[in-house]
Amino acid sequence: MTMTHNQPTIIPKPVALQYHEGVFTLLSQTVIVYTDPRTEEIATYLAEVLAPPLGYRLLVTDHESRAKCPAITLCLVSEEGHTSPEAYSLKVMPGGIRIAAAGPAGLFYGVQTLRQLLPPEIMSPFLVTRTPWQVPAVTIHDAPRFAWRGLMLDVSRHFYSKEFILKFLDVMALHKLNTFHFHLCDNQGWRLEIAQFPRLTTVGARRASSPLIGDRHSQDGIPYGPYFYTQEEIREIVDYARCRAITVVPEIEMPGHCLAALAAYPEYSCTGGPFQVRTCSGYEQNVYCAGNEGTFTFLQRVLDEVMALFPSRVIHIGGDECPTKRWQACPACQQRLREEGLPDEHALQGYVMRRMARYLAQHGRRVIGWDEILDGGLPDDAAVMSWRGTSGGEAAARLGHDVVMSPTTHCYFDFYQSDAYASEPEAICGLIPLQQVYNYDPSAGELSEAERRHIIGVQGNLWTEYMRSYRQVEYMSYPRAAALAEVAWTPQECRSYDNFLSRLAVHCHRLDLLDVHYRCV
């Protein structure tokens, strides 16, 4: 039985747990019963993830009468206590297991809790013998604190294969993280196939070199790319995420952080280029020309294909670190300022953001942007991702806009994890140890109760300037992402760092079996 200090080692910690006498024993005759056609996919998923260590695949059926011994039953219900589609209840008794929820997402999270109630070896990709597959008899009532529980992965600076992305989603799912923010383009590379603009990948998906390992002020001289995801790969990633209750939120940066796109299509800049994809970190003076009507046509056509690939209602359009130097010297941009009656170039960025937000809204989508979108006036219904501390998020909440907190102080997983810098992999800067992540409270600002309800979630960010391999991405992610998952899921009053560490000791064994390269605590 997976226990530490008489507590099941579940991460994130459930809201309420009650113990009973006895255990449920998983046997080859056990049947997984689904009671609604919408839950068959989850039942099949459970059978598939249990099969390797068990050495057999449990029967999945919609007929409980076919059970030859106590069954695992998945139920969709509408009763009080399951009003949120992500809430669930799980009851384990010697005579069977019942997971109930108002929506498929809740059932999926109940399945993740069940996996963590089993011995850690249930995560093994290979047959495990001489392990009694017992689950302690418990009743759990659980629901997330925040609706947005995210991780962002930057694939522009360094690219990671589709296979790694699928693994990344699997580990997110285990931790009940539900939003994968896919940072697909930046100055250092464009990583998404766009059929109408093939040069985005033939030109924008490659660069001449990258920062030298251990000396970021020098270049390695090694051509990088072309690396990008085909549209078919994106469809597979999105569907794989959907099956794991994860929404993929794509980010198409604008009006800055776009040098890879401008290298491919310089006519949408203020100067006409030519440009080269950036080979080092930092931001660029060259941005999309806000005075060129063709720029908006280009971005709209790109977003048309993005919307066709990503069903997420929310689309991230960046908005951060946009210099205005080129706009100040651009006759077309200055003409736009006069025509629109805008006071300055910061307001011009707001014009770009509002115009693109309106286009997405016409297609039933909603924008989210980094907190700089506050500077030029927020688009209607826009959500804000607060990264420059928390003040931008608090300001947006006071204006009635939804906010995802992602401050550099707690949520930037490209920062070092220890002040023993020489013994750690190269990181961008700064220090965010595990306890600092765990102690974060996203809604701790000076807000009214009504304003606080606009804090819809929290997200960890992985900027990958110096993450040259997927193993380093995992190392920088975990266990900090596990800590953030508990921040995002578990009520503040139910959390204890010492208790988290005691559970993490067992949880790390799960990560070992899943071949996740994490930092040992």
Tokens of 67: 């059970």
- Residue 209, Cβ neighbours under 10 Å: how many? 14
Backbone φ and ψ for 196, nearest 5 degrees, come out as: -75, -20
Q: CA-CA distances (angstroms) from residue 214 to 108, 218, 219, 220? A: 42, 9, 10, 10
Q: Is 186 a catalytic residue?
A: yes
DSSP state of 224: B
Residue 16 phi, psi dihedral angles, 5° rounding: -145, 135
- Looking up tokens 């030029």 gives 376
Burial environment of residue 410 by CB neighbours within 10 A (0 to 12, 13 to 18, 19 or more): buried
Q: Kindly give the pairing relationship between strand 189-190 and strand 211-212.
A: unpaired
Amino acid at 496: S
Task: Specify whether the CB–CB gap between 459 and 150 falls below 8 A.
Answer: yes
**Given the residues 170, 236, 305, 321, the one annotated as active site:** 321
For residue 416, the 8-state DSSP code is B
Crossing angle for the helix pair 345-362 and 293-309, to the nearest 10 degrees:
40
- What is d(CA 310, CA 394) in angstroms, rounded to the nearest whole number? 29
Query: The tokens of 429 are what?
Result: 């800067």
In the set 158, 257, 410, 454, the catalytic residue is 257
Residue 341's CB: how many other CB atoms inside 10 A? 7
Specify whether the CB–CB gap between 465 and 414 falls below 8 A.
yes
Which has the closest alpha carbon to 456: 144, 72, 113, 186? 144
515 among known catalytic residues? no
CA proximity to 457, closest of 252, 178, 249, 241: 178
Query: What is the spatial distance between Cα 221 and Cα 370, in angstroms, rounded to a whole number?
Result: 32
Active site annotation includes 170: no
Give the integer Cα–Cα distance in Å for 139 and 332.
65
Q: Answer whether 462's CB lies under 8 Å from 476's CB.
A: yes
**Exactly one of 86, 142, 186, 372 is catalytic; which is it?**
186
Cα(9)–Cα(423) distance, rounded to whole angstroms?
Answer: 30
Helix (H) and strand (E) counts in the chain: 16, 21
The SS3 assignment for 54 reads: helix
| Cα-based distances in Å from 387 to 285, 372, 373 | 21, 9, 12
Give catalytic residue positions. 186, 257, 321
